[in-house]
Chain A
Amino acid sequence: MKITLNWLKNHWKMNKKIDNYVNEITYISENLAALGFEVDYWSFYKPVVCGEILEKIAIKKTKLYQCLVRIDDQCKSLFNYESNLITILTNAKEFLQRDYVLFTPMGHLTQDNIFIESRKICNVLSHGMFIKSENLCKEDFGLYSVQDTILKIDLPTNRPEIKNVRSLAQELSYRIGEMKLLNISNNPSYNMNIDLTNSTGIDIAFLQIDKLNLLNPMIEILRSISLLSDNIYDNLYQYVLLDLGISLHIYDQKNWLTKNNKIVIQTSSNDLINSPMNTRIDHINKYKENEIIMHLNNQISYQLGIQEKLELSKNTESVVMAISNERQKINLNILKYITTLVSSYTYSEPFYKSNDKCASVTRSKVFLPHDQLYSSCGISISLYEMSSILKTIGCEVDIIRRENIHNSHAQFGLEIIPPHDRCDLNNAMDYIEEIIRIKGVEILNKKTVLKSHIWNENIYDPMVDYLAKLGFIEINSFPFLEKQEIFWKRENSIQLLNSLTNSKYMRDSLLPNLLKAADKLLNIGQKEIKLFEINEIYPSEEIHIGILIGGQKQRSPINPKRAIHIFDLKTILSQLGIKIENKYITHPKYQNILGDKDNFILQITKNESKSYLRKSMEMFYYEGIYKLHKPTVTCLSEHTTYKSYTINRLFFISWSMIEKILGSVINYRLIDQVKIENSYITNIVINYNQASQEDMVKYLLNQLETFLKNMEFLFILIYHITNLLIQ
């Protein structure tokens, strides 16, 4: 929702003086945010001038037109123009001689934040930029927009009653400032039993009228049943217009009033499509299909549990208008009633004489035990304070005594009847939320924190670290594939109904995306492909690791290069402790594939690669289930090799990795046993299978003396141990 600051101030008075204009807006924004209405952004209004085109001449050999525009004296002095006649260049054909047009004057920003300065094009000096063609008349001539600030406010979806500036002002007054009184009078000639004096907010419904000539009758109808006062009507009108992204002049109340309620807005779809407001493209597109109105109605109907949608027709002459009332249910019923009336042209007769058609609003009592606030939120407020807070938002509250309250030790509590316009207040927790909101959410945020020292930047992941050290790069891709990219059988893969692109299938292998990555690398001149990806595959949702290797292996700067072969991949796999079953499997695309579905190696021949890569190349691929192992780890000193594989997984780690390993060892919670082969750090085997963190710490403390030989290591060790002891 967008409102202007002056508009808000028509309904709300600030009781604090702030000299700085920006500080004032910040102050209001922060208070709105504390109430749950986040101010997304605020921006200053940009001035717009309405002038008359006296002359329009086409410039030869260009598509440009030179327009001589007349402006009034006020604009002349305000924007420092030398005379009342200025030239503006345009390429738009729709601006004709004797038309009244809107333009952004020089030295100012347009709505798209384009800065307009006087510029010479084809030897003609242009002093502004036309905005769009409007059905403007003599009365519009002059300065068109007022100086103001626009506030874009995000409204929570559970507050459908806040759909206008008045109800927002009401909310703000709970925290700062106070409401201004609204001049609303009921029309006594009709039997409408609506109490507007106690209204805490005005609801809104949206109605689209298909033909413009029905607008005035509509207004008469609505006024006749006191659904609208003039003030609210104006404001709501503006709200709708702002939301749809219609140009600024609608803000100007004076101009709007001079139009004598004739045709205020012309929201034909073409105008909206051509609208330069790029930020509202979604809105505009939705409006094109008349969805925006339906959407708003859906939101309201959702809150009320009404399933029926209000279908609206598509018409270029259509006008969107808003009607408001205190109660939504009445509102919607009347809306439906009016729709039928308008379509049958029977508006002249008095049509609403009793409130039989109004749905009754049931207001149930809710009991709030006194200690519920403490048990749920950890704060305590006296019953009297809670009661007074709830009364400010229009609740009827009684302090009562009850015994044997379920889930509570309290004997006293509040019996609350919600205000009729608050459909979001249903149970005790809703009232707790309201109490905290009005009291100020800051009361929840008082404890200070200290750094815990358990954040570890270096997580040891043996498989990934090993691959990264060998020069492999990990990629991370989206899980969506196109039809032809599916690796296994298409029938088994998950298909999406509403995908954004052609990628409608969930990946069943990591290979297609790795091949895309390889293609990108080859395209920039890379000769050796070393890629891997760790991601889930569907439908099993198991985490797989895919390793792709190919191209030419550069052995040394002197010796000739050789092509990467399967043994390069197999060496890596054996280092990682991965075994492939010696069994060939059949595949719809690839000929040479060994293993099983969850653990296989694959040869991509030059021919096979042609369909994926721009440069054909032989490649080898491994895919299997990935587990973040914290398995048996053997640390060996630099340049040492370990030949006998007696334990399930082994990793060769250089001296520089010791820090990382010990970091992960100490931080890992489920360490059970520590085995040492030698007393020196160069040769430790750590078995993770069965033991506790305490054992690890005790052991490491005992071994401190032996570690003194290496001061660097000692430093790291003491750091980690102290961290653990602090915890």
Chain B
Amino acid sequence: MSKKVEFLRNNLNKWEEYLTQNKLTNIEIKSLRSFLEQKPEKIKKKLFRHLSLSSKKHQKMKHKTNLCDLTMKSQPFIGTGHFLRKIRQQIENYMENRGFINESHIAPLVDNTYYNFTVLNIHENHPARDEQQTFFTTTGKLLRTQTSNSQGRIFKKYHDRNIKVFSIGKVFRNDSDKTHTPTFHQMEILISNCSLVKLIHEIKQFLYDFFGRERKIRLRPSYFPFTEPSYEVDIWMNNQWLEVLGCGITSQAVFKELNLPFRYVAALGCGIERLAMLKYNLKDIRNLYSTSAQKSLQLGENL
């Protein structure tokens, strides 16, 4: 039963208005007719007149002018852009507005071991070069395992000026489960002449704006071959500490490898999917990389 019919059943005084203005379809009139038969004679006579008039008018109009029923409902389009791309664009837009230069395309996705490992102080027998973590190609190259492969190129490009850049893009790891996918997004931020205290402030600002409110953070000493000192940042969510990003001051070894003079460059790296999953309370990362349009729609509802 349509909403109009339901409405008219409860409001008998509105019948005249609706029927004279031809707001009802033939099917609706039919259902009202059957409804009237159960009513007492007085009401029946009065309202039946409206009904018969209306249906006649309707038919005549249709017959003479070949007009279609304008009240018919159209089907709305249901489409959406992808959740993950939108998040990435939001972050890119935010970082640009904060005065960072976008250097996302400075480093290729299929890179060589020099920029992905050697420059970053990850030497040949390091466990990170293991096949279980890195995709190697038949041509001797690899799919970059981190956006830090842009570091070497950025330091070379900006060797004579201040650095305040970010790089966001896909990275690849040979791993797949509920919290890992072979492809995911990372963001790298590099700021020259920036102390650790300033970097932590920048991180807090980013997390505040990303999550829309202040989050309690915890720093944890850690180890990355290309930063020294290195810290991991945890945020307090759902009654537990959750690791969200890593940061530190770029190691002297990186500059040494590039034959550049050492300078203090604060670096930060974080996984976009991880942040998005925390913000929107998503459980399975694999849904973000699915060929299912339904899942895309479901994810799109979050934004």
A156, A307, A407 interface centre (most CB from chain B within 10 Å): A156
Contact B291 A516 (CB under 8 A): yes
B198 CB to closest chain A CB, in angstroms? 6
Instruction: Determine the chain A residues whose CB is within 8 A of the CB of B228 once the complex forms.
Output: 427, 429-430, 433
Kindly state the separation between the CA atoms of A506 and B110 in the bound complex, as whole angstroms: 10
Contact A497 B138 (CB under 8 A): yes
The answer to whether the Cβ of A449 comes within 8 Å of any Cβ in the partner chain is: yes
The answer to whether the Cβ of B18 comes within 8 Å of any Cβ in the partner chain is: no
The answer to whether the Cβ of B162 comes within 8 Å of any Cβ in the partner chain is: no
> Given the known A-B contacts A36-B221, A455-B94, are A301 and B291 also in contact in the complex, defined by CB atoms under 8 Å?
no
Kindly state the separation between the CA atoms of A476 and B291 in the bound complex, as whole angstroms: 7
Q: Which residues of chain A in 645-693 are interfacial with respect to chain B, using CB atoms and an 8 Å cutoff?
A: 667, 669
B95 CB to closest chain A CB, in angstroms? 10
The answer to whether the Cβ of B82 comes within 8 Å of any Cβ in the partner chain is: yes
Contact A376 B221 (CB under 8 A): no
User: Contact mask B106-140 → A, CB, 8 Å, 1/0?
Assistant: 00111000000000000001110001000111110
> Given the known A-B contacts A36-B222, A429-B249, A521-B293, are A498 and B135 also in contact in the complex, defined by CB atoms under 8 Å?
yes
Tally of chain B residues near chain A (CB < 8 A): 81
Contact B74 A556 (CB under 8 A): yes
- Our pick among A34, A38, A494, A667 for the contact of B137 (Cβ within 8 Å) is A494
- Our pick among A301, A444, A498 for the contact of B197 (Cβ within 8 Å) is A444
Contact A441 B125 (CB under 8 A): no
Kindly state the separation between the CA atoms of A500 and B133 in the bound complex, as whole angstroms: 11
Instruction: Determine the chain B residues whose CB is within 8 A of the CB of A465 once the complex forms.
Output: 81
Contact A468 B79 (CB under 8 A): yes
User: Contact mask B291-303 → A, CB, 8 Å, 1/0?
Assistant: 1111011000001
Kindly state the separation between the CA atoms of A432 and B231 in the bound complex, as whole angstroms: 13
> Given the known A-B contacts A33-B218, A302-B125, are A474 and B81 also in contact in the complex, defined by CB atoms under 8 Å?
yes
Stretch at the interface among B7-15, B32-40, B41-49, B204-212: B204-212
Instruction: Determine the chain A residues whose CB is within 8 A of the CB of B262 once the complex forms.
Output: 407
Contact A476 B289 (CB under 8 A): yes
Kindly state the separation between the CA atoms of A454 and B289 in the bound complex, as whole angstroms: 28
- Our pick among B96, B183, B208, B303 for the contact of A449 (Cβ within 8 Å) is B208
The answer to whether the Cβ of A479 comes within 8 Å of any Cβ in the partner chain is: yes
B212 CB to closest chain A CB, in angstroms? 8
Kindly state the separation between the CA atoms of A375 and B265 in the bound complex, as whole angstroms: 11
Q: Which residues of chain B in 135-160 are interfacial with respect to chain A, using CB atoms and an 8 Å cutoff?
A: 135-139, 143
Contact B109 A536 (CB under 8 A): yes
Stretch at the interface among B50-58, B59-67, B84-92: B84-92
Instruction: Determine the chain B residues whose CB is within 8 A of the CB of A506 once the complex forms.
Output: 110, 143
Contact A558 B94 (CB under 8 A): no
Kindly state the separation between the CA atoms of A499 and B135 in the bound complex, as whole angstroms: 7
Instruction: Determine the chain B residues whose CB is within 8 A of the CB of A15 once the complex forms.
Output: none
Q: Which residues of chain A in 476-500 are interfacial with respect to chain B, using CB atoms and an 8 Å cutoff?
A: 476-480, 494-500
Contact B126 A473 (CB under 8 A): no
The number of chain A residues touching the other chain, given as a range, is: 35 or more
> Given the known A-B contacts A429-B229, A430-B228, are A479 and B291 also in contact in the complex, defined by CB atoms under 8 Å?
no
Kindly state the separation between the CA atoms of A514 and B291 in the bound complex, as whole angstroms: 7
B86 CB to closest chain A CB, in angstroms? 7
Contact B219 A444 (CB under 8 A): yes
Q: Whose C-beta in chain A lies nearest to the C-beta of B297? A: A473
The answer to whether the Cβ of A530 comes within 8 Å of any Cβ in the partner chain is: yes
The answer to whether the Cβ of A157 comes within 8 Å of any Cβ in the partner chain is: yes
Instruction: Determine the chain B residues whose CB is within 8 A of the CB of A36 once the complex forms.
Output: 220-223
The answer to whether the Cβ of A230 comes within 8 Å of any Cβ in the partner chain is: no
- Our pick among A379, A432, A452, A541 for the contact of B109 (Cβ within 8 Å) is A541
A395 CB to closest chain B CB, in angstroms? 16
Contact B136 A554 (CB under 8 A): no
> Given the known A-B contacts A451-B209, A457-B90, A498-B174, are A473 and B221 also in contact in the complex, defined by CB atoms under 8 Å?
no
Q: Which residues of chain B in 270-303 are interfacial with respect to chain A, using CB atoms and an 8 Å cutoff?
A: 288-294, 296-297, 303
Kindly state the separation between the CA atoms of A170 and B127 in the bound complex, as whole angstroms: 27
Kindly state the separation between the CA atoms of A299 and B200 in the bound complex, as whole angstroms: 31
Kindly state the separation between the CA atoms of A500 and B290 in the bound complex, as whole angstroms: 17
Kindly state the separation between the CA atoms of A33 and B232 in the bound complex, as whole angstroms: 10
Q: Which residues of chain B in 164-209 are interfacial with respect to chain A, using CB atoms and an 8 Å cutoff?
A: 170, 174, 176, 181-183, 195-198, 200-201, 204-205, 208-209
Interface of B, secondary structure class, is: mixed
Instruction: Determine the chain A residues whose CB is within 8 A of the CB of B204 once the complex forms.
Output: 445, 447, 449
Contact A468 B80 (CB under 8 A): yes
B252 CB to closest chain A CB, in angstroms? 6
A34, A377, A476, A556 interface centre (most CB from chain B within 10 Å): A476
A375, A445, A452, A521 interface centre (most CB from chain B within 10 Å): A445
Kindly state the separation between the CA atoms of A298 and B139 in the bound complex, as whole angstroms: 27
A652 CB to closest chain B CB, in angstroms? 15
Contact A454 B201 (CB under 8 A): no
The answer to whether the Cβ of A158 comes within 8 Å of any Cβ in the partner chain is: yes
The answer to whether the Cβ of B1 comes within 8 Å of any Cβ in the partner chain is: no
Q: Whose C-beta in chain A lies nearest to the C-beta of B125? A: A302
Instruction: Determine the chain B residues whose CB is within 8 A of the CB of A536 once the complex forms.
Output: 109, 170
Kindly state the separation between the CA atoms of A295 and B248 in the bound complex, as whole angstroms: 27
Kindly state the separation between the CA atoms of A379 and B219 in the bound complex, as whole angstroms: 15
Q: Whose C-beta in chain B lies nearest to the C-beta of A693? A: B97
Q: Whose C-beta in chain A lies nearest to the C-beta of B172? A: A479
The answer to whether the Cβ of A107 comes within 8 Å of any Cβ in the partner chain is: no
Instruction: Determine the chain A residues whose CB is within 8 A of the CB of B249 once the complex forms.
Output: 376-377, 429
The answer to whether the Cβ of B21 comes within 8 Å of any Cβ in the partner chain is: no
The answer to whether the Cβ of A467 comes within 8 Å of any Cβ in the partner chain is: yes
Contact B229 A498 (CB under 8 A): no
> Given the known A-B contacts A447-B204, A471-B78, A667-B93, are A298 and B127 also in contact in the complex, defined by CB atoms under 8 Å?
yes
> Given the known A-B contacts A35-B221, A556-B72, are A473 and B80 also in contact in the complex, defined by CB atoms under 8 Å?
yes
The answer to whether the Cβ of B75 comes within 8 Å of any Cβ in the partner chain is: yes
The answer to whether the Cβ of A437 comes within 8 Å of any Cβ in the partner chain is: yes
Contact B264 A376 (CB under 8 A): yes
The answer to whether the Cβ of A18 comes within 8 Å of any Cβ in the partner chain is: no
Instruction: Determine the chain B residues whose CB is within 8 A of the CB of A474 once the complex forms.
Output: 80-82, 85, 296
A570 CB to closest chain B CB, in angstroms? 19
Instruction: Determine the chain B residues whose CB is within 8 A of the CB of A302 once the complex forms.
Output: 125-127
Contact B209 A667 (CB under 8 A): no
The answer to whether the Cβ of A317 comes within 8 Å of any Cβ in the partner chain is: no
The answer to whether the Cβ of B161 comes within 8 Å of any Cβ in the partner chain is: no
Contact A378 B195 (CB under 8 A): yes
Q: Whose C-beta in chain B lies nearest to the C-beta of A503? A: B182
Q: Whose C-beta in chain B lies nearest to the C-beta of A669? A: B96
The answer to whether the Cβ of B3 comes within 8 Å of any Cβ in the partner chain is: no
- Our pick among A377, A494, A539, A669 for the contact of B196 (Cβ within 8 Å) is A377
Contact B90 A459 (CB under 8 A): yes
Contact A530 B79 (CB under 8 A): yes
User: Contact mask A445-466 → B, CB, 8 Å, 1/0?
Assistant: 1110111101111010100110
The answer to whether the Cβ of B217 comes within 8 Å of any Cβ in the partner chain is: yes
9 CB contacts below 8 A, A to B, read A302-B126, A447-B197, A447-B204, A470-B79, A471-B77, A475-B291, A475-B292, A506-B110, A538-B110
Other A-B contacts than A449-B214, A456-B97, A498-B136, 14 sampled, CB-CB below 8 A, are A34-B220, A38-B220, A302-B125, A374-B195, A429-B252, A451-B209, A455-B90, A473-B80, A473-B293, A476-B85, A478-B183, A478-B289, A496-B138, A517-B293
Which 4 A-B pairs give the minimum distances between C-beta atoms?
A: A471-B77, A378-B195, A378-B197, A433-B229
